[in-house]
Chains A and B, each alone.
Chain A
Amino acid sequence: MNAAAWKRRAKVLLLGNGDKSGWLARLLIYLILLDISVIYLNPFFYMISTMFKNGVDLVDPTIRWIPRAAELENLRLAWEGLRYMTSLSHSLLIVSMGAIFQVAFCSLAGYAFARIAFPGKAILFGLLLFSFLIPPQTIIIPLYILFGKLGWLGTPLAIVGPAIFGHGIKGALFVIIFRQFFLTLPKELEEAAKIDGAGLFRVYWRVILPLATPALLVVFLFSFIWHWNDTTFSQLMLRGELTPLSISLNGLDQVLNGTYGQEKEVKLNETIRMAASFLVIFPPLIVYYIAQRWFVEGVERTGLVE
């Protein structure tokens, strides 16, 4: 009598009944995800492990992940080689300005595209999409000349300037994200506020922005990270007068070789380079860790796309 029932119960337990996934299915999901995570995080672990190795551990084939003793000298050298405090302050200056300006001005434009009727909107939206597609390679030279004429080269404005106008690094993408988000908000909110006599900007400032926190956060984080990681523009436009971390990581070899002479083997620098890489991504890592919860949920709520 019970054989069939037991079989069914076992099947539900293992494979699930559609509503709830069973143990076997769940195990499979975890296995696959863990597996991919290991491949995914491998380079990251490599960086962490290498940065604590000393020269002997690095070339010792029996030591793969865990060095005999944590070598903190690497971190100290990397700290010096990056001129960490100076570079960090330059990075923070540029990145925070860029991210704040982009959030403020891309959201303005995004709101206009999403909710305000004005003639020529279709054409301008087409131009917005077009400006998303233009590779930076195509316009970097005229920008360099333009910034030179404006006297922006070598100042934070060379990176942040376009952000004040809602452009800059991936600016078009951010405007699109904001537009998509504002489109999902119910229209009744604004209409109610308008009937109460609020002007356009008041509606935007008092009604829309407080509701837009997830979108503001997502754009802020993306903008923060992409500004943080930018090298091509920083390299060309800052001319070494400002050295954000991404730039000083590039020059790490020169600084260290200058300090230690040429006789030092390149291979040995790897431990220091990994330590430096870690120091460079450490601040955004903290920011990500704090914001991750809202970020992961916020992305779902932004609807990012149509």
Chain B
Amino acid sequence: MDNRLPEQEGMLQPERKKRAWAITMEGRTAIGGYLFLLPWLVGLVLFVLYPLFYSMYMSFHRVRFTGEGMVLERPGWDNYTYAFFSDNVFVAAILGTLKNSLFIIPIIVVFAFFVAILLNLKFPGRFFFRGIFFLPVIFGTGQVIMQIFGVASAGRLEMLDRYNVAIFITNNLPEVWAEPVLSVLNSFVLILWYSGVQILIFISGLQTIGISVYEAAKIDGATPWETFWKITLPAMTPFILLNLIYTIVDMFTLPLINPIMEMIVENMSKPQLGYGYASAQGWIYFIFMFALLLLVLLISRRWVYYAGKR
């Protein structure tokens, strides 16, 4: 036994050494990974998770300011019941936003898809046109757009006035839908302006489809029409989904279409409502948006095609 021990040890030693070395290697990589992520993780806790839970906590309280600072009192559902049963603007505003976005989101996605296909064709000057269509990304989000579209109303389509479209719509649609349709038409150019990023996403998506697929289709005698429906569209479904999600998230931060942010900031300073109620509004809003996203994701499982799977 005594004889075999050093031998055994000799056999085990390299093995154990190797394993230990392997663990530290992985461990070191993992530690490195956390180090890379460290700033982001700290930020996640400080600027995302903590505010999220804190606003939820506040939304169930009445927040008052006294000499000593902020006081949270009267825990309960007060803020939420007030939002749904007493505040006569808030829920209506959310529903109005949802109703508008039912029109706006498909318009943006279809328009961006159409323009992306055109811009992806090879023709001289396409970079010039791409420059034009990305231009609104620059002022697409800011205060300038409020000036141009909100105050000066330069975003109207002139043919609407010329052909009395408004009267036609109010006469032929039920009132519930005539209003969102009209408001969508009135800010049509504005809506087109919000499709800059979506065009970018679609173009980069179109570039992922290999040329060989199109060549094969051509050899098999497929017409461009068939190629579009059988190759381009299925390959683009993941990008359509992505754009739907992006547009929904984006749509819910636009000040012109969406008045909620203003309401929240306004309510922050109202003494009888305050931070608690404004937080509750933020959360109700989040839940509505999340529900819409979930709905889109659920429906998308039926039509999004993933290459490689199935």
Judging by beta carbons under 8 Å apart, are A118 and B48 in contact?
A: no
Instruction: Decide: A135 and B286 in contact? CB cutoff 8 A.
Output: yes
Report the separation of the CA atoms of residues A39 and B275 in the bound assembly, to the nearest whole angstrom: 43
Write out the residue numbers on chain B whose beta carbons fall within 8 Å of the beta carbon of A270. 151-152
List residues of chain A with CB within 8 A of the CB of B129.
Answer: 33, 37
Q: Does B71 contact A (CB under 8 A)?
A: no
The answer to whether the Cβ of A24 comes within 8 Å of any Cβ in the partner chain is: no
How many Å from the CB of B116 to the closest CB on chain A? Answer: 11
B242 within 8 A of A: yes
What 1/0 mask marks residues of chain B from 179 to 209 whose CB sits below 8 Å from any chain A CB?
0000000000100110000001101110110
With A135-B252, A136-B253 known as contacts, the answer to whether A43 contacts B40 (CB < 8 A) is no
Within 8 A of A (CB), among B244-265: 249, 252-253, 255, 260-261, 264-265
CA–CA, A129 and B173, complex, Å: 39
Q: Mark A279-300, 1 if CB is under 8 A from B, else 0.
A: 0110011001000110110011
CB of A105 within 8 A of chain B? yes
Contact at B137–A225, with CB atoms within 8 Å?
A: yes
State in angstroms the CA–CA spacing of A235 and B43 once bound together. 22
Would you call A231 and B142 a contact (CB within 8 A)? yes
Residues A252-301 near B (CB distance < 8 A): 270, 273-274, 276-277, 280-281, 284-285, 288, 292-293, 295-296, 299-300
A29 to B124 Cα, complex, angstroms: 11
- Knowing A132-B249, A146-B46, A165-B47, say if A119 contacts B39 (CB, 8 Å): no
Taking a contact as CB atoms under 8 Å apart, the answer to whether A139 and B55 are in contact is yes
Pick from B127, B132, B290: contact of A37, CB below 8 A. B132
The verdict on A138 contacting chain B, using a C-beta distance below 8 Å, is: yes
A-B Cβ contacts below 8 A, count: 275
Residues of chain A with a CB closer than 8 A to B207's CB: 300
Tell whether B136 is near chain A: CB-to-CB under 8 Å: yes
The reply to whether B286 and A134 form a contact with Cβ atoms under 8 Å apart is: yes
- The A interface, classified by DSSP as helix, strand, loop or mixed, is helix
Q: Assess whether B32 is in contact with A296, with CB atoms less than 8 Å apart.
A: no
A300's contact among B143, B154, B204, by CB below 8 Å, is which? B204
Q: How far is the CA of A193 from the CA of B261 in the complex (A)?
A: 49
A167 close to B47 (CB less than 8 A)? yes
User: Does residue A108 face the partner (Cβ distance < 8 Å to B)?
Assistant: yes
Nearest CB in chain B: distance from A8 CB, A: 17
Whether the pair B200, A274 counts as a contact (CB closer than 8 A) is no
Judge if A10 is at the interface, Cβ distance under 8 Å. no
Task: Judge whether A280 and B268 touch: CB under 8 Å.
Answer: no
Report Cα–Cα, A135/B293, bound state, in Å.
Answer: 13
Among A36, A105, A288, contact of B135 (Cβ-Cβ < 8 Å)? A288
- The binding surface of chain B is classed by DSSP as helix
> Could you say which residues of chain B place their CB within 8 Å of the CB of A273?
147, 151-152
- Would you call B51 and A139 a contact (CB within 8 A)? yes
Cβ-defined contact, B39 with A164, below 8 A? yes
**Chain A interface residue count: which class?**
35 or more
Is B305 among interface residues, defined by CB-CB distance under 8 A? no
**Scoring A residues 174 to 197 as 1 if CB is less than 8 Å from chain B, else 0, what string do you get?**
010000000000000000000000
CB neighbours (8 Å) of B224 from chain A are: 18
**In the complex, which residues of chain B have a beta carbon less than 8 angstroms from the beta carbon of A26?**
123
Which among A117, A168, A303 is the interface contact of B33 at CB below 8 angstroms? Answer: A117
CB neighbours (8 Å) of B55 from chain A are 138-139, 141-142
Determine whether the beta carbon of B118 is less than 8 Å from that of A43.
no
> Of the candidates A41, A109, A139, A232, which one forms a contact with B48 in the assembled complex, judged by CB atoms under 8 Å apart?
A139
**B72-87 vs A, Cβ < 8 Å mask (1 yes, 0 no):** 0000000000000000
Whether A116 lies near B33 (C-beta < 8 A) is yes
Q: In whole angstroms, what is the CA distance A161 to B43 when docked?
A: 9
A201 at the interface (CB under 8 A from B): yes
Asked if B70 is at the interface of the complex by the 8 Å CB criterion, the answer is yes
Residue numbers in B under 8 Å from A111 (CB-CB) = 36
Q: Is B144's beta carbon under 8 Å from chain A?
A: yes
Q: Is A124 an interface residue (CB 8 A)?
A: yes
Cross-interface CB contact of B189 among A43, A168, A222, A225, cutoff 8 Å: A43
Instruction: Given A111-B36, A236-B265, check contact A229 B123 (CB 8 Å).
Output: no
**CB contact between B192 and one of A40, A161, A236, A285 (< 8 Å): that residue:** A40
A19 closest partner in B (C-beta): B218
In angstroms, how far is the closest chain A Cβ from the Cβ of B216? 13
Please determine whether B268 and A141 come into contact, CB atoms closer than 8 angstroms: yes
Does the CB pair B286–A137 fall under 8 Å?
yes
Question: A228-B142, A273-B147, A305-B201 given as contacts; is B40 within 8 A of A141 (CB)?
Answer: no
Give, as a whole number of angstroms, the nearest-CB distance from A79 to chain B: 16
Q: Which residues of B contact A124 (CB under 8 A)?
A: 37, 41
Say yes or no: A175 contacts B40, CB within 8 Å. Answer: yes
CA distance A226 to B149 in the complex (A): 19
- Please indicate the chain B residues that have their CB under 8 angstroms from the CB of A232 in the complex: 255, 261, 265
22 residue pairs from A and B, CB less than 8 Å apart: A26-B123, A29-B123, A32-B118, A33-B119, A36-B115, A36-B192, A37-B132, A105-B40, A105-B43, A108-B40, A109-B37, A118-B30, A118-B33, A118-B37, A140-B261, A143-B51, A167-B43, A229-B139, A249-B147, A277-B148, A281-B142, A303-B204
Sorted nearest first, the 9 A-B pairs with minimum C-beta distance are A165-B43, A229-B142, A118-B33, A116-B33, A142-B51, A109-B40, A112-B36, A139-B51, A138-B282
Other than the given A276-B147, A304-B204, 5 more pairs (CB < 8 A) read A140-B265, A142-B51, A145-B275, A161-B47, A305-B204
